[in-house]
Amino acid sequence: MLNKTLNISTSPHITKGNSTDVIMKNVVYALLPSAGFAVYAFGLSAFLVLITSVISCVFTEHILCKLSNKETTVNDWSAVITGLLLGLTLPPIFPLWMAFCGGVIAIGLGKFLFGGLGYNVFNPALVGRAVLQAAFPVAITTWYEAFQGNRFTEIASSVLALPFMQPIFDGTSGATPLSAFKFDHITAPTSELMFGLTGGSTGETCGVIIILGGIYLISKKMANWRIPTAIVGTVIVLSGILFSIDPTLYPNPLFMVFSGGLLLGAFFMATDMVGSPLTSIGVWIYGIFIGILIVVIRVWGGLPEGVMYAILLGNAIAPQIDNFVKPRVYGTSKRKKT
């Protein structure tokens, strides 16, 4: 006689099999090409900034878990992603001790203070970057031209500056494409922006590689395609309208898309599952909101870049967006009972 066993368990009964560490590893895989290109373009200095950011985040998470008598969570790879994203948003000649401080702040303030992975309101890497920008405005806005001849044989002196000492920025520095347009009305060629031939933050210069990494995550269903589509689409529409009004005063849409950190933020930061809305309509509103803020800050704000602030503000209102557009429970009335 054949014995059959009925297994009874709680929901969910159907799963995709993607655990947290699997998702996080795939995000790391998607970011590695951008990190590799950053090292190729900016050399040893960029490599040290990236490594320091990652080590700082992993170290901080491990120590905070031990101090809280919790099992360490560094094995879920989320701290590695935070470190990579933080390092990719920093200048390639950023002092290492400042990058280390940014990692501590990103994990301690941006993640652990809220309860750890899954509870953080804001993207941790952007929290660390925002504090660094407020604390070290000169260092975080000092740039280095790509493809310097000595980038693999020498390390910028500012990178190795001693803690709490004023870094000395040597070598050739210049404005980012957004800064050049904001203050001098100089527009970089789109081809240079697409293929990373300009200066800027460590991992934001090559738009093509960032897009390919984002497509990889979307194809794996580990990033919501609606968010980058809404952000980029909104920026294209608004900047296109402004450009048609006065092309001498406003940049063209392709320049707006491929310059600065828009693509990195749209594909890898705004899509953070914790900080973005859960509803389908909500993510469209969220992405459009971020896209509008990016254009407003870039065009009329005092800073040349607005991606960081736009995403952080989007994170802040994400729960309210979900509450506003949450679907009606089946079988209930749309009208609230009094």
What are the tens digits of pLDDT across the range 189-240?
A: 888 889 988 888 999 999 999 999 999 999 999 999 999 999 999 999 999 9
Q: Would you kindly state where each structural domain of the chain is located, as residue ranges?
A: 20-174, 178-319
* CA pair distance 254, 108, nearest whole angstrom: 37
Residue with the larger pLDDT of the pair 294 and 3: 294
Mean pLDDT of the chain: 89
Cα–Cα distances in angstroms (integers) from residue 34 to residues 29, 99, 128, 192, 268, in the given order = 10, 18, 20, 16, 11
**What contacts 70, CB < 8 A, 6 or more positions away?**
none
* CA pair distance 268, 281, nearest whole angstrom: 20
Q: How many residues does the chain have?
A: 338
* CA pair distance 202, 177, nearest whole angstrom: 14
Q: Which amino acid would we find at residue 71?
A: E
Average pLDDT over residues 111-118: 87
Residue with the larger pLDDT of the pair 216 and 10: 216
Residue 254 has pLDDT above 60, yes or no: yes
Average pLDDT over residues 157-184: 80
Q: Residue 171's pLDDT is what?
A: 56
Under 8 Å between Cβ of 233 and 241: no
Average pLDDT over residues 162-189: 79
Q: Residue 227's pLDDT is what?
A: 97
Residue 12 has pLDDT above 60, yes or no: no
Share of the chain above pLDDT 70, in %: 90
Residue 15 has pLDDT above 70, yes or no: no
Give 120-155 pLDDT, tens digit per residue. Answer: 899 999 999 999 999 999 999 888 888 988 889 999
Give residue 338's pLDDT band: very low, low, confident or very high (50, 70, 90): very low
* CA pair distance 284, 288, nearest whole angstrom: 6
Average pLDDT over residues 262-281: 93
Under 8 Å between Cβ of 151 and 171: no
Q: Tell if the pTM clears 0.85, that is, is over it.
A: yes
Residue 93 has pLDDT above 90, yes or no: yes
**What contacts 338, CB < 8 A, 6 or more positions away?**
none
* CA pair distance 338, 336, nearest whole angstrom: 6
Average pLDDT over residues 176-181: 86
Under 8 Å between Cβ of 114 and 120: yes
Under 8 Å between Cβ of 119 and 91: no
Residues 224, 201, 28, 313, CA torsion sign:
negative
Location of structure tokens 């509870």: 119
Residue 299 has pLDDT above 70, yes or no: yes
Residue 11 has pLDDT above 60, yes or no: no
Give residue 334's pLDDT band: very low, low, confident or very high (50, 70, 90): low
Give 33-58 pLDDT, tens digit per residue. Answer: 999 999 999 999 999 999 999 999 99
